[in-house]
Chains A and B, each alone.
Chain A
Amino acid sequence: MSNTATTDNAVLVMNDIKMKFGSNYALKGVSVAVRRGEVFGLLGQNGSGKSTLIKVLAGFHQPEEGSEVVLWGEKMALPLDPMLIKKRGVAFVHQHLGLVPSLTVAENMRVTSLGQKNPWFVSWRKEAERLSALFAEFNLDVDPLATVASLPPVERAFVAIIRAFEDLRASDAGYGGEGILVLDEPTPFLPGEDVKRLFDLVRSIVKTGASVIIVTHDIDEVRDITDRVAVLRDGQLVEVLDTKASSRQAILDTIVGSRIDAFAKQRMAAGAAPVTIRVDNLTDGNTPPFSLSLQEGEILGVTGLIGSGFASVPYTLYGARRGAGTLTVSDRKIDLSSITPLMAQRMGVALLPGDRLGAAGIGSLAVTDNITLPILDELSHLAGLDRGAMVKEAGRLSTLHDVRPHNPALALGSLSGGNQQKVLLAKWLRIQPKLLLLDEPTQGVDFGARQQIFKALDDAARAGTSIICASTDNEQLEQICDRILVFSRGRPVVELKGQEINRKAITEACFYSTDAEAAE
């Protein structure tokens, strides 16, 4: 294998990058080159090494001897110096954006002081004017004096990206006024329409002469935005593909190595099973009340545009958010204005929130601790908790759901997103809930793990669990749902079932329903 990457017009060359954690190589000699003014994708499953490669470039991880990083023809000395790399004009936007929510946009943008002239006095008025002008350059309208917490997620991403772009301008990278902007998985928390806006911003940044490296595992995004894409697998570079010339399936097969078929569901017909779940007059206080019902073992998708009210459905039904109405689970009826999560659980209702480590599981505790939480009663004997049984059960569930690495003693937070989700899902599936509520169950999860999660959900549904899944991921809804309700203005307005369910129809229904409402 040749370990050098050469490309004409390269602004960044990374040669034979080797990175070792303990005794494992996370990168086994990866070579890539990024051209001036292109959008370069880094694609791979969780654990393939794409994030590690970015962290090497950022100077967070020091690669082995012999690894080479060349910026604008200048070879960077090892160990890499993060500040020097930044000064040379490489700016990073990490997945969690690095913004302080309680501070204003202007304060957050001022954190990086590369362009600062006088450190002892900041005129916030001038700063705000300057920032407004900068946002306007990219057709963005963000109030520099608003707190970051008050912005919608996509605008927070804009702020982080523009801040990184400012660093590029301030750096001496000029080397012609451009630089390299690195986006590490910027989209998993954004709905489809916002991803489009974000990509518009990326395109206008490229127009200024900068190059962009984007790390992702979403194939459609790669096809949408990148010029070329490097596919990594198990710490090795598999191939660099020309995006325009490669089909979706070709890219997919390259990522996985062997062919993984997308999970395909056999949709359940109406009336095939008794109706066991009934929701009457549900409202979160602001929306008009509506009712819905589910058959036993049915998977119902709820979707719509952001703000259309579908997203709160799982939370109000579980008592995680205050609402009103009634929920009936196989003849047990409960008032939703006084339901608590504990009451919901006792009725056989479980919620898997979208915020994995903020709401669903504890990152600093072991997989065993997290996965056994709802079944501690079962794992106790007279003298208290049976620790041996807890470890055994965690091991069994990890095997059943193919959690990797298979070591339940690891902290949940040290697993990849997909594996975290498998653990958290396994936890709830273990108690065989009558109604399982999901919020974006595969956000930030790679393709292979996603199909495994879909399969697990389908198996649970076949065993009698009814599922409500709130999501804006149309591909996911198409793959797992028996029926889909599209929301507008806080209530369901379109119902899709059976043959009507496909990605395109869902998108159309989302927009059609809003248009129709607007026309009224």
Chain B
Amino acid sequence: MTTIDMPIQKPVSALSRFTLKTEAERFALVAAWLFLIILFGILMPDSFLSWRNFSTMFGSQAVLVVLTLGIIIPLTSGDFDLSGASILTMSSMVIGVFNAQMGWPILPVLIMSLAVGALIGAINAFFVLYFRIHSLIVTLGVGTFVNGVILWMSGSQTISGVSMELVSWVIMGRLWGIPLAFYYALILAAVIWYAFEFTIPGRKLLFVGRGREVSRLNGIPVERVRATSFILSGLISAFAGILYSGMTGSADPLSGLNLLLPAFAAAFLGATTIAPGRFNAFGAVISVYFLVTGITGLTMMGAHAYVQNLFYGGALVIAVSLSQLVRNRQPQDFS
């Protein structure tokens, strides 16, 4: 009989795994956000620190939060969805055309715009999976195509006169002074957080993103998981579009497209916080509000409109760089 004697080793206790450094990494962005609030609060105690200002910020940026939550699903399964902002705009344009122009009742139109979002997601999935093309290329192409359709549908005009019911569901209705849209975004974040952390489909999504061959050999239906994530991303982007038209009461063929880069900035920034190294729902929420707080504060201090881009771009690169310093510049591994 064989004896294999090796010195017994002690399991590492849970306590020693809790290190100050990893906790600092997890909450650095939250601290940076608080710092911004305190800084602008000291500079502009009356205007910036008002509840009105915060409730406006929370409410108006719910669209960006929802869009970001949409794209982190394919990002987790290892695909880029660059068509998210186009789907958002498309969905609000569907509402503009069918509800405002043609006068259809709002509820069926909402369902229709969600369906259109899911359909565009399915088209992305088909080209990526059937022809095995990189998702960057397909979603860029499909997104651009959708932009063209939007301009054609709308005659390049903003369509106003969207049902007031929708407006009241999204922005007029308030809870503790904050528009309902904010709570929709929070609920969605909670659902996605739960799905990522506590469900088997969430595990499958993560494994597919980290290693397709490994996932396949472990019996995960890789293609089905990837297709589902594109469709969900389309669906959630369309939901963001619904909030967008409810927010303004109209459908603008262009301005929604500007949300694409902020959404990716927030997604990647969010992956450096709460659960560093993973795209995560609450990280995304915090990133959006961190970015927006900075921009709002600077704008209130009289900065020009271009500060938005300076801040979205600059904050992303600087914040991710700082978090890399905390990690001793280990290569990031999202894939």
Q: How many residues of A contact B (CB 8 A)?
A: 46
- Whether A359 contacts B194 by the Cβ 8 Å rule is no
Given contacts A260-B4, A340-B219, A360-B214, 11 further A-B contacts (CB under 8 A): A341-B216, A359-B213, A365-B206, A365-B207, A365-B210, A384-B197, A384-B199, A402-B6, A406-B12, A409-B17, A455-B4
- Whether B217 contacts A261 by the Cβ 8 Å rule is no
Count A/B pairs, Cβ under 8 Å. 92
- Report the bound CA distance from A340 to B200 in whole Å: 19
- Whether A387 contacts B197 by the Cβ 8 Å rule is yes
- Report the bound CA distance from A415 to B5 in whole Å: 21
Chain B residues positioned under 8 Å from A451 (CB to CB): 2, 4
B203 closest partner in A (C-beta) = A376
B199 closest partner in A (C-beta) = A384
A:387-412 near B, CB below 8 Å: 387, 395, 398-399, 402, 404-407, 409
- Whether B200 contacts A342 by the Cβ 8 Å rule is no
Is B304's CB within 8 Å of the partner chain A? Answer: no
Chain A residues positioned under 8 Å from B4 (CB to CB): 260-261, 263, 448, 451-452, 455
Q: B306 → chain A, closest Cβ, in Å?
A: 38
Is A377's CB within 8 Å of the partner chain B? Answer: yes
Q: How many residues of B contact A (CB 8 A)?
A: 30
Chain B residues positioned under 8 Å from A345 (CB to CB): 219
Known: A359-B213, A360-B214, A373-B203. A384 touches B194 (CB 8 A): yes
- Report the bound CA distance from A264 to B2 in whole Å: 6
Give which listed residue, B11, B199, B220, contacts A406 with CB less than 8 A.
B11
Give which listed residue, B2, B12, B211, B217, contacts A455 with CB less than 8 A.
B2
B:216-247 near A, CB below 8 Å: 216-221
Is A385's CB within 8 Å of the partner chain B? Answer: yes
- Whether A341 contacts B214 by the Cβ 8 Å rule is no
Give which listed residue, B9, B17, B214, B221, contacts A362 with CB less than 8 A.
B214
A:244-269 near B, CB below 8 Å: 258, 260-264
Is B46's CB within 8 Å of the partner chain A? Answer: no
Chain A residues positioned under 8 Å from B219 (CB to CB): 340-342, 344-345, 374
Known: A380-B200, A387-B197, A402-B6. A407 touches B217 (CB 8 A): no
Give which listed residue, B3, B203, B206, B216, contacts A261 with CB less than 8 A.
B3
- Whether A407 contacts B9 by the Cβ 8 Å rule is no
- Whether A407 contacts B221 by the Cβ 8 Å rule is no
Most chain A C-beta atoms within 10 Å of own C-beta, residue among B2, B199, B207, B277 = B2
- Whether A360 contacts B12 by the Cβ 8 Å rule is no
- Report the bound CA distance from A362 to B10 in whole Å: 25
- Whether B17 contacts A385 by the Cβ 8 Å rule is no
Chain A residues positioned under 8 Å from B333 (CB to CB): 364
- Whether B198 contacts A360 by the Cβ 8 Å rule is no
- Whether A399 contacts B194 by the Cβ 8 Å rule is no
Chain B residues positioned under 8 Å from A365 (CB to CB): 206-207, 210
Chain A residues positioned under 8 Å from B210 (CB to CB): 362, 364-365
- Report the bound CA distance from A341 to B217 in whole Å: 6
A262 closest partner in B (C-beta) = B2
Q: List 16 A-B contacts (CB under 8 A).
A: A261-B2, A264-B2, A320-B217, A340-B219, A341-B219, A353-B217, A358-B213, A359-B217, A362-B211, A364-B277, A373-B218, A384-B194, A402-B6, A448-B6, A451-B2, A451-B4
Give which listed residue, A351, A407, A452, contacts B17 with CB less than 8 A.
A407
B215 closest partner in A (C-beta) = A362
- Report the bound CA distance from A314 to B219 in whole Å: 15
- Report the bound CA distance from A365 to B334 in whole Å: 10
- Report the bound CA distance from A383 to B3 in whole Å: 44
B12 closest partner in A (C-beta) = A407
A361 closest partner in B (C-beta) = B214
Chain A residues positioned under 8 Å from B216 (CB to CB): 320, 341
Which 3 residue pairs across A and B have the least CB separation, nearest first?
A384-B198, A342-B219, A407-B12
Chain A residues positioned under 8 Å from B197 (CB to CB): 384-385, 387
A428 closest partner in B (C-beta) = B218
Q: B308 → chain A, closest Cβ, in Å?
A: 34
- Whether A374 contacts B217 by the Cβ 8 Å rule is no
- Whether A373 contacts B207 by the Cβ 8 Å rule is yes
Q: A257 → chain B, closest Cβ, in Å?
A: 10
A353 closest partner in B (C-beta) = B217
Q: Mark A334-351, 1 if CB is under 8 A from B, else 0.
A: 000000111011000001
B:164-208 near A, CB below 8 Å: 194, 197-200, 203, 206-207
Chain A residues positioned under 8 Å from B194 (CB to CB): 384
Chain B residues positioned under 8 Å from A353 (CB to CB): 217
- Report the bound CA distance from A485 to B225 in whole Å: 39
- Whether B203 contacts A359 by the Cβ 8 Å rule is no
- Whether B6 contacts A360 by the Cβ 8 Å rule is no
Chain B residues positioned under 8 Å from A376 (CB to CB): 200, 203
Chain B residues positioned under 8 Å from A360 (CB to CB): 214, 217
Q: B235 → chain A, closest Cβ, in Å?
A: 21
- Whether B214 contacts A385 by the Cβ 8 Å rule is no
- Whether A341 contacts B218 by the Cβ 8 Å rule is yes
- Report the bound CA distance from A451 to B6 in whole Å: 11
A386 closest partner in B (C-beta) = B198
Most chain A C-beta atoms within 10 Å of own C-beta, residue among B10, B210, B277 = B210
- Report the bound CA distance from A407 to B9 in whole Å: 11
Q: B135 → chain A, closest Cβ, in Å?
A: 20
- Whether A405 contacts B214 by the Cβ 8 Å rule is no
- Whether B11 contacts A395 by the Cβ 8 Å rule is yes
- Report the bound CA distance from A366 to B194 in whole Å: 19
- Whether A385 contacts B198 by the Cβ 8 Å rule is yes
Chain B residues positioned under 8 Å from A385 (CB to CB): 197-200, 203
- Report the bound CA distance from A411 to B52 in whole Å: 45
Q: B335 → chain A, closest Cβ, in Å?
A: 8
A351 closest partner in B (C-beta) = B217
- Report the bound CA distance from A45 to B194 in whole Å: 42
- Report the bound CA distance from A260 to B7 in whole Å: 12
A:17-60 near B, CB below 8 Å: none
Chain B residues positioned under 8 Å from A455 (CB to CB): 2, 4
Known: A404-B9, A407-B12. A377 touches B2 (CB 8 A): no
